Amino acid sequence: MATNRMLVDPDAGIPELIQRLRDDSKRLVVDEARLAKLEIHDNLRQGGKDLTWLVAAFGAGVVALIALTVLLVMFAGRILSGHLWIGAIVVGVIELAIGVVAVKRGIGSFKDLG
């Protein structure tokens, strides 16, 4: 295992050592700030890509749910002697009930956190 040793002048005085310590500290702070900036930039870039995939998945899910709703309206309309408007009302009420239950559960979960 290689060890990186710094060469220290044995004749260096305390003021010179303090000067070196100050210079090294400045360099370390600048390097840490540069590293933090690069990490933030990379994290934002990756987050943007992930957000794009999330938005695409959400859009596909909405389209699929709309298609399912149309299918259920047509199916209910067929069962109800071809009255699609009744099928639309029935499916709408069912979806509204599911939405209310989901909102109540969501609000309940936030109350549990507090």
Where along the chain do its domains lie? Answer: 14-113
The string of DSSP codes covering 15-54 is HHHHHHHHHHHHHHHHHHHHHHHHHHHHHHHHHHHHHHHH
Tell me if 73 sits within 8 A of 84, measured CB to CB.
yes
Tell me if 80 sits within 8 A of 86, measured CB to CB.
yes
pTM: 0.55
| Distance from C-alpha of 111 to C-alpha of 100, rounded to nearest angstrom | 17
Map residue 114 onto helix, strand or coil. coil
What percent of the chain is predicted at pLDDT more than 70?
89
pLDDT per residue over 16-69, tens digit each? 888 888 999 999 999 999 999 999 999 999 999 999 999 999 999 999 999 999
Residue entry with tokens 């009930």: 97
* Token digits of residue 32: 């840490």
